[in-house]
Amino acid sequence: EIVLTQSPATLSLSPGERASLSCRASQSIHTHLAWYQQKPGQAPRLLIYDASNRATGIPARFSGSGSGTDFALTISSLEPEDFAVYYCQQRSNWPPLITFGQGTRLEIK
Amino acid sequence: QLQLQESGPGLVKPSETLSLTCTVSGGSISSSYHYWGWIRQPPGKGLEWIASMYYSGSTYYNPSLKSRVTISVDTSNNQFSLKLTSVTAADTAVYYCAKHVWGCSGGSCYAWFDPWGQGTLVTVSS
């Protein structure tokens, strides 16, 4: 089973600052990683797929990078609505198992 | 615009079966290359994938839940469903349905979920 480890668990920043979130896979997953944003009481929303492709309607301040085992989600300049929990997610080859990281909480400093 | 909506009982007794339905609107559940899945989130915790399927019948289950889970599709009503047997308090969670992409390339496989339903809280309690 491929394990995704996100860091940090909590990130405290101010609006306007740059946020960098990390997701590390226990073995190579090429670029097959997705990122989601979840706000309290809401369903997760797809931000990034295949490591670096923004989903439809996602602002350009969100960007994803990485390949192999190390991935990053960067928010170039934080807006008040960006404070939320972020999850990474991958799918294993066989058995076909989808796993999520444990999440990074981005909070207002 | 594709929308998904979960429905089902909000309270299930221990040892009984949890049954949920996801109704898809704004598109056909029989669309090519689209898979349909269930994910859950215990209160205050992270996300756990439960199962996925293609409209033609291919199914995939989380090995940790496989013995208790069944996912099925009703193309005539544009719905898919989840059944989880022998529930315990550990199955208390918000249950989400979602459309997703599923495939393999470059030696590894991928999947991502978009869009999601709003989620429905299921509590297991007597």
**To the nearest whole angstrom, how far is the Cα of A49 from the nearest Cα of chain B?**
7
Supply the pLDDT for residue B96.
98
Taking only the tens place, the pLDDT of each residue in A63-79 is 999 999 999 999 999 99
| β A10-13/A104-108 pair status | parallel
Q: Under an 8 A CB cutoff, do A97 and B113 touch?
A: no
Cα angle B82, A99, B91 (rounded to 5 degrees) comes to 40
pLDDT in tens, chain B (126 residues): 999 999 999 999 999 999 999 999 999 999 878 899 999 999 999 999 999 999 888 999 999 999 999 999 999 999 999 999 999 999 999 999 999 998 888 788 899 999 999 999 999 999
**To the nearest whole angstrom, how far is the Cα of A76 from the nearest Cα of chain B?**
23
**To the nearest whole angstrom, how far is the Cα of B44 from the nearest Cα of chain A?**
10
Q: Under an 8 A CB cutoff, do B63 and A50 touch?
A: no
Q: Give the C-alpha separation, B53 to B59, whole Å.
A: 4
- How many CB pairs (< 8 A) connect A and B? 72
